[in-house]
Amino acid sequence: MIVFDKVCFSYGVRQIIKDLSFSINSDERVAILGGSGEGKTTILKLIMGLIKPDSGKIIIDGEDITGKTEDELREVRMKFSLVFQEGALFDSLNVKENVAFCLREYTKMTEDEIDRKVRELLRTVGVEHAMEFMPEELSGGMHRRVSIARSLAACEPMMFLYDEPTSGLDPVNADNICKLILELSKDGKGFIIVTHKVVDALRVASRFIFLKDGELVFDGDSEKLLHSDIPDIQVFISELNYAGVKNV
């Protein structure tokens, strides 16, 4: 379980997160929505202990992580599989080596075992055929898939964290990533997806959190979201009218 208890966070003098409180169970499928620069990626970084709050508590699995050392935080990070907004593949390594890198780093597997595991992970995300490709040769969708395989190689996560996994993708590729996200959480592993694409959020999540000016202004299910009278949410939802899926 992830608990934010009155969390505040600033970059320099700019306060990004204000008194944010919520709790998320590890089997929940949650979408964090909000405009650009509202602090969505910042929340994922706080969960991973990559940055520390100015005040408030962040409790992961019953433990307050705000006072933990780097060594202790490593254990916390292993509970999550984070797929970064930018994909974060190494440009100089091919697909296979990008995924193998994590296995070499985090496990004591032999080269044969690593080879088998890399193939299995790439098969899971549907890009086994691109094993020898360099990152620059991948399409946006393939890049995301390899990033997901890479994060799966890093640990057996309790929960997945996806930062804008479908942004910049065409609708078919975005839909494929949504399917992969659902597939990976089939056995009850939850996720937090950070996105500004409501269509994709509705496709995968059952709980929606909306951020505005660093504060939580909405927390509820899809029905409540679609009928919200909060103007910013209505603007986000108007995207659905164009997509013709508002009432499905």
How near is the Cβ of 173 to ligand ATP at its closest, in Å? 19
Residue from 18, 68, 196, 212 binding ligand ATP (CB under 6 A): 196
Q: Does 167 bind Mg ion (CB under 5 A)?
A: no
CA 14 to chain centre: 24
Radius of gyration of the chain (CA): 18
How near is the Cβ of 51 to ligand ATP at its closest, in Å? 8
Closer of 8 and 134 to ligand ATP (Cβ): 8
How near is the Cβ of 164 to ligand ATP at its closest, in Å? 6
How near is the Cβ of 85 to ligand ATP at its closest, in Å? 6
Q: How many C-beta atoms lie closer than 10 Å to residue 81's C-beta?
A: 23
Could you tell me which of 184, 219, 215 has the C-alpha nearest to residue 30? 219
Residue from 4, 7, 24, 34 binding ligand ATP (CB under 6 A): 34
**Beta bridge pairs of residue 191:** 29, 160
Q: Does 11 bind ligand ATP (CB under 6 A)?
A: yes
Q: Does 53 bind ligand ATP (CB under 6 A)?
A: no
Burial 162-200 (b: 16+ CB within 10 A, else e): bbbbbeebeeebbbbbbebbeebbeeebbbbbbbbbbbb
Residue 33 tokens read as 């929505």
The Cα 161–Cα 108 span in angstroms is 25
Q: Which helix (H) or strand (E) holds 234?
A: helix 231-243
Residue from 7, 24, 40, 162 binding ligand ATP (CB under 6 A): 40
What is the pattern of x (binds Mg ion, CB under 5 A) and - over residues 21-40? -------------------x
Residue from 10, 15, 26, 41 binding Mg ion (CB under 5 A): 41
Q: Does 31 bind ligand ATP (CB under 6 A)?
A: no
Residue number, nearest CB to Mg ion: 41
Could you tell me which of 160, 225, 186, 183 has the C-alpha nearest to residue 24? 160
Q: By CB under 6 A, what part of segment 76-105 binds ligand ATP?
A: 85
How near is the Cβ of 127 to Mg ion at its closest, in Å? 24
Residue labelled with tokens 């890009």: 127
39 binds, among ligand ATP, Mg ion, none (CB under 5 to 8 A by kind): ligand ATP
Could you tell me which of 176, 158, 156 has the C-alpha nearest to residue 166? 176
Residue from 36, 69, 92, 110 binding ligand ATP (CB under 6 A): 36
Give contact residues for ligand ATP (rule: CB under 6 A).
11, 16, 34, 36-42, 85, 196
